Structure 1
Amino acid sequence: MKRSLAAAAVAVLLAVSGCTPAPSSEAPSSSAPVPVTPSAEPSSAPPPPKNCVTETLDGLDLPERVGQLLMIGAAVNAPSGLGDTVRRYHLGGVFLRGRSTHSAAELKSDIATLQKSAPMPMLLAVDQEGGSVQTLKGRDFPKLPSASRLGAGPAATLRDTTRESARRLAGIGVNLNLAPVADTVPTSIGTGNPPIGAFRREFGSDPVKVAAAIRTVVPASQDAGVLTTLKHFPGLGRVRVNTDVSRGATDTVATVDDPYLGPFKAGIESGSAAVMISSARYPKIDPDAIAAFSKPVITGLLRDKIGFDGLVISDDLGAARAVTAVPPAQRAVRFVAAGGDMVLTIVPSDAAPMAGALIDKAESDQAFRVRVDDAARHVLETKKKAGLLRCS
């Protein structure tokens, strides 16, 4: 094949230059076939096949793409109640909120029913950190030690505990854990840090040791079939206010070169599928907006400086006190405009205004439409990692 193409190219070149090949020493017989002059226009090669993510994205209209950007909360013990919302808004994900002691068989059945209501398989997430933050408990989901306790113990114990927990989650259809906590709480603050330290959710007070724990947790979970979410970027370990119940959470120390970013970098280097953005303020990085609405935090620091190319998900933008001054519709728009991909809200009624606002903005602003497409691609790439996409 390569030789014949090369010969054809030479013949074309000679013809164009006015030269002809030297005649053969033998005259051709009258029965010899008449040579075919090659075309000067080479045949165009067929385009390369689309990859699975591109093929899926190309098949989605704008409302369907916007739907991929929404993760809405559903009661963990009755998730099928969200089925109509899942269908109507083409949801990309569901967060199972609350606490449950239901059996694995019950939960698996409920989750399967919910997935069947979706036009496309969804990311199904829980908060299964351990300690005080453990969505699923009971006979099939033993109580997990806190991160603080696990971080103080052997790496092998942390690895095995994480792997076994992930195996149980994967067995019921959960594919995304909103964990691990990559925040570092300094000893000078300790339990005086309401969102993390007060509940022993941190792996330690030294970012180097926390980073080592994160390097253990991420592959242990993801290799067992459950993707991880590093939270709460760029860190909640130094704030004195809980963003869930109060406004004004501020880290006045954090910079773009903060050593406390180390655990997040470690998790990213270990392949974590997702990073969650906090709703606190970091004035030395962005004096004008909370992290969830901050382009310098999400795009400038996380994407450009650190180089994360996975899924960027918000902390709760539904009931969290830190965001209640902004209407739900604009919370979604601001997060996506800042560089976020998946808007998390535990309030089901937020789906309508958030989807509507994202569609309206995309229809009137071409740059934002490009951002929506980029965010939808990140969601679909995460689904591919979770084994949810099926392409021809």
Structure 2
Amino acid sequence: MHRSRSRSSRSRPVLRTGVVAAAATCVLAAGMVPANAAVPPPTSDEAIAAVVDGMSLRQLIGQMTWTQVYGNTGDHAGHTYGNPVQSNPARYGVDTPAEVIEEYDLGGVLYFAWSNPVVVNDPAGTAELSNDLQAASVGDEGSGIPLAVTIDQEGGIVARMASPVTVFPGNMALGATYDPMLAYAQGSVLGRELASVGVNVDFAPVVDVNTNPANPVIGVRSMGENPEAVAALGVGQLTGLQDNGVGAAAKHFPGHGDTVNDSHYGLPVVDYDRATLDRHLLPFKAAIEAGVDMVMTAHIIVEAIDDEMPGTLSHDVLTGLLREEMGFDGLITTDALDMAALKQLPGNPLTDGEIAVLAIQAGSDILLMSPDVPATFEAITEAVENDELTRERLEESVTRILEWKVDRGVWTPDPYVDVDAVDAVVGNAEHLAVADEIADRSLTLLRNEDNVLPLSTDDSVFVTGWGATGVPNLTAALAARGADATAHPAAAPTDADIAAAVAAAQGHDAILVMTNVSGLTAADAAAQRAYLAALVATDIPVIHVPVRNPYDVNWAMADAQLATYSYQAPSLNSLADAVLGTVNPSGRLPVNIPGAVAGEVMYPLGYGISYGTAVTPAAPTFTDQPGTANDSFTIPATEGVEYVVGEGDDAEVREAGTYPGEGAVAIAAVPLEGYYLAWDAEALWAHEFDAAGEEPTTPDPDPTTPGPEPTTPGPEPTTPGGDVYYENCDAARAAGAAPVHRGEPGYGTHLDRDRDGVGCEDSSGGGGPTAPGGDGPSRPPRGNLPSTGAEATGLVAGALLLLALGAGTVLAVRRRQTR
């Protein structure tokens, strides 16, 4: 069922005659609909080709044009974004959203809070809007083809829809869990909720690798700075979205994570070499191999590929690199074409029409948010007439778009959603629980001198710092849990404010300071730093909580430091629980935290502590003899740890001792109450014992160092069965040999062993001094995932496989250690 508000019909030229005629040629013989109805979904490549062939040039351009329309319903006239220039009449020359779609035969629309305010917190109203717009597109005056209805719903700081839909902490918080299964769960929730309101494309996930702490536009929108972790989490998200009927778009190609400029306001240029670029490309490779529907371009110049044109306008980047070298055959969409970067090419300011033509020449299929749609249509038409573009080039893109609409289920006889069913889907208890789990497991404790945390409800806590709503909301959450909490917001404090806060904090048992300098002026950021320093200088224990970028922890050495990566409601609730000890922080840094000295690492990638005693489990040993009679595995005795053998319903705790070995054996180490796994501990092992009668050609010289099976075909191992051997570590990495999952919750760093049985341990995870406070590392950190630059397939598949092995054990029992 669908509801669509009525609107008056208008007399105007019908632009879709050619489309319907072409479709009718292919489908009327099969008893399909007559020419004055919506175009039936093509059922073959030939039928799609016929539709494309029957399109006018204007209709082709329309399918490639995806843009915003202004209004809350299809017939909503007069909506402006506080400015008459931002309206349908000013931008498109017509009054209503439906008329924009009909006038330009749009292929897609985008939802924003400012263009369609209904999307913010009225899911049922959003579903009605989607139905209205689809009715306009498939109606007599539209193209006859359903729309791509799109949105940027990344979760976290970029989310066009707010409560009552499920609110997520954001990508960097997800990155701190190191859990692709949670990433899949987040993507699934997003997909189900978006599909219920008629959205069929989410411009997510962000798979940029945030290697620059000063990045002003990506930051916590990224899942971290380890490419392999970002790849695994990105694949999880996009698969969850697409499994629930919503197309995903990996962005921003070829990587926006190492920029110091925001492409909304300037033109970023990255000058790193090709080897570094390959690290940024790895998550995109993984997304492509996982079948992502779309890739979104970045308005940045990547000198290693094209030192003149930004990626969006570069043939070398979009066609040479993405299409030809990386083999992507899905949809390429530009980022928003109204961003300032594209107007700042040195010595060559481009018109909006020229930008659109260059984007098509570069290889893009979709022109997203052109600031002047009429000028875009005119420029593309002239380019075809002048042989700067060919009709065949446009047909190539439109064919991809229509194939995607059919494959994704967008182009159906009934493109409407059931408005009455929306409320049961969005923000339901199951979905909210996913967001809460991400928030709980993302909290990253970095310092806890003298066990300041957790506090008791008998303690009085002074809650202050950034956030006109965040500070009161956290205070209320603490009070709801029985704590004595006082709110004192101070986002950009003056010297007088600092003095007043120091005075007001006296008499409290602890001070909790929230910080966030993103988007602030340099002076306001300095004021926050001074504020924190003044409170740290008191004799009251200070808990420093960066609620956006975790890099703030290097400002001052507070007694406790706890990163949330988010100021969304789930994160503040989890923070309140962690402060009071009902949630034990278990997150691990998804980025390195730089120190005060250039090149120094204050806290390394993967670092994180918890309440209790850190424990490093001893590794089980696997004895794999010729045949099976003497095969065995030995469970060691480690204080504070129990070992779980098997997976799913077959998982069981085993006492220390030796057991017969047969087939595939997965073993997880799980900390007992009062203990937690050290940040660099390995806690999940997998081994495949030789089948009966098979004898390895090379005996295992060190059966106590197991290596996982490769997860994708690669060079043949030199011994059958058991551990996998390669000629050397480089060969193992080149084959994409899988890392071993640590289980709580990072990844191990041992690749499959080389021929000599030596563990191929990666040591490129960054270095730094012993992290201050808590249980800091006593040796240079090894990193959380191999930083080898190996092909993404084996690395990501290995991470997912090994995590799946522990799905019934590690994830199930993890709840026990944080209760």
TM-score category (smaller protein): 0.7 to 0.9
Question: Aligned-pair distance for 1:254?
Answer: 5.2
Residue in structure 1 matched with residue 364 of structure 2 by the alignment: 340
Q: Which has the higher contact order (CA 8 A, sep 6+)?
A: 1
Residue in structure 2 matched with residue 104 of structure 1 by the alignment: 123
2:67 to 72, 88, 98: 72
Distance 1:76 1:221 in 2: 27
Q: Secondary structure at the match of 1:94?
A: strand
Q: Decide whether aligned partners of structure 1 residues 217 and 79 sit closer, same or farther in structure 2, where only a CA change above 3 A counts.
A: farther
1:128 to 153, 158, 182: 153
Distance 1:369 1:236 in 2: 32
Distance 2:60 2:292 in 1: 23
Verify the 8 A CA contact 1:92 1:123 in the aligned structure 2. yes
Residue in structure 2 matched with residue 150 of structure 1 by the alignment: 174
Distance 2:373 2:237 in 1: 32
Residue in structure 2 matched with residue 368 of structure 1 by the alignment: 390
Distance 2:294 2:149 in 1: 13
* 1:380 maps to 2:369: no
Residue in structure 1 matched with residue 303 of structure 2 by the alignment: 283
Verify the 8 A CA contact 1:71 1:92 in the aligned structure 2. yes
Distance 1:137 1:147 in 2: 16
Question: Aligned-pair distance for 1:296?
Answer: 0.2
Residue in structure 2 matched with residue 354 of structure 1 by the alignment: 376
Q: Secondary structure at the match of 2:182?
A: helix
Residue in structure 2 matched with residue 12 of structure 1 by the alignment: none
Verify the 8 A CA contact 1:108 1:172 in the aligned structure 2. yes
Verify the 8 A CA contact 2:356 2:370 in the aligned structure 1. no
Verify the 8 A CA contact 2:361 2:389 in the aligned structure 1. no
Question: Aligned-pair distance for 1:63?
Answer: 1.0
Aligned pairs for 1:50-89 within 5 A: 50-75=45-70, 77=72, 81-89=96-104
Verify the 8 A CA contact 1:97 1:346 in the aligned structure 2. no
Question: Aligned-pair distance for 1:265?
Answer: 0.7
Distance 1:102 1:160 in 2: 22
Aligned pairs for 1:208-357 within 5 A: 208-246=228-266, 248-253=267-272, 255=274, 258-318=278-338, 320-324=339-343, 325-345=349-369, 347=371, 350-357=372-379
Unaligned segments of structure 1, at least 5 residues = 1-47
Q: Decide whether aligned partners of structure 1 residues 180 and 62 sit closer, same or farther in structure 2, where only a CA change above 3 A counts.
A: same
Q: Decide whether aligned partners of structure 1 residues 346 and 171 sit closer, same or farther in structure 2, where only a CA change above 3 A counts.
A: farther
Q: Secondary structure at the match of 2:304?
A: coil
Distance 1:244 1:255 in 2: 25
Distance 1:292 1:315 in 2: 8
Residue in structure 1 matched with residue 789 of structure 2 by the alignment: none
Residue in structure 2 matched with residue 26 of structure 1 by the alignment: none
Moved more, 121-130 or 157-166: 157-166
Question: Aligned-pair distance for 1:386?
Answer: 2.2
Moved more, 307-316 or 379-388: 379-388
Question: Aligned-pair distance for 1:75?
Answer: 4.3
Verify the 8 A CA contact 1:66 1:355 in the aligned structure 2. yes
Q: Decide whether aligned partners of structure 1 residues 236 and 113 sit closer, same or farther in structure 2, where only a CA change above 3 A counts.
A: same
Question: Aligned-pair distance for 1:363?
Answer: 2.7
Q: Secondary structure at the match of 2:390?
A: helix
* 1:117 maps to 2:136: yes
Q: For residues 334-359 of structure 1, what are the alpha-carbon distances to aligned partners after superposition, in whole Å with 9 as ceiling and x for unaligned?
A: 10011111000164xx1111112112
Distance 1:135 1:78 in 2: 17
Distance 1:54 1:90 in 2: 18
Q: Secondary structure at the match of 2:208?
A: coil
Distance 2:100 2:111 in 1: 14
Residue in structure 2 matched with residue 179 of structure 1 by the alignment: 204
Question: Aligned-pair distance for 1:381?
Answer: 1.7
Verify the 8 A CA contact 2:113 2:120 in the aligned structure 1. no
Distance 2:215 2:71 in 1: 28
Distance 1:104 1:168 in 2: 9
Please tell me the root mean square deviation across aligned C-alpha atoms, in Å: 2.0
Distance 1:75 1:205 in 2: 37
Verify the 8 A CA contact 2:204 2:250 in the aligned structure 1. yes
TM-score by structure 1 length? 0.81
Letter in 1 for 2:363: G
Letter in 2 for 1:289: M
Q: Decide whether aligned partners of structure 1 residues 79 and 132 sit closer, same or farther in structure 2, where only a CA change above 3 A counts.
A: farther
Q: Decide whether aligned partners of structure 1 residues 51 and 279 sit closer, same or farther in structure 2, where only a CA change above 3 A counts.
A: same
Unaligned segments of structure 2, at least 5 residues = 1-42, 76-95, 138-142, 344-348, 414-819
Question: Aligned-pair distance for 1:50?
Answer: 4.9
Distance 1:215 1:112 in 2: 30
2:223 to 203, 214, 236: 203
Q: Secondary structure at the match of 1:193?
A: coil
- Equivalent residue pairs, number: 334
Distance 1:332 1:49 in 2: 30
Verify the 8 A CA contact 1:180 1:231 in the aligned structure 2. yes
Letter in 1 for 2:176: A
Q: Secondary structure at the match of 1:302?
A: helix
Q: Secondary structure at the match of 2:236?
A: helix
Question: Aligned-pair distance for 1:304?
Answer: 0.3
Q: For residues 202-242 of structure 1, what are the alpha-carbon distances to aligned partners after superposition, in whole Å with 9 as ceiling and x for unaligned?
A: 11110011111112111111010100001000000001000
Question: Aligned-pair distance for 1:90?
Answer: 0.9
Q: For residues 137-159 of structure 1, what are the alpha-carbon distances to aligned partners after superposition, in whole Å with 9 as ceiling and x for unaligned?
A: 121x1211210011221322221
Distance 2:368 2:136 in 1: 19
Moved more, 50-59 or 273-282: 50-59
Distance 2:74 2:264 in 1: 23
Distance 1:310 1:316 in 2: 19
Distance 1:281 1:92 in 2: 28
Question: Aligned-pair distance for 1:364?
Answer: 2.7
* 1:137 maps to 2:159: no
Q: Decide whether aligned partners of structure 1 residues 375 and 51 sit closer, same or farther in structure 2, where only a CA change above 3 A counts.
A: same
Distance 2:250 2:53 in 1: 29
Q: For residues 234-270 of structure 1, what are the alpha-carbon distances to aligned partners after superposition, in whole Å with 9 as ceiling and x for unaligned?
A: 0000010000022x30111153861210000101111
Q: Secondary structure at the match of 2:395?
A: helix
Higher helix share: 1
Q: Decide whether aligned partners of structure 1 residues 76 and 378 sit closer, same or farther in structure 2, where only a CA change above 3 A counts.
A: farther
Q: Secondary structure at the match of 2:127?
A: helix
Distance 1:180 1:323 in 2: 23
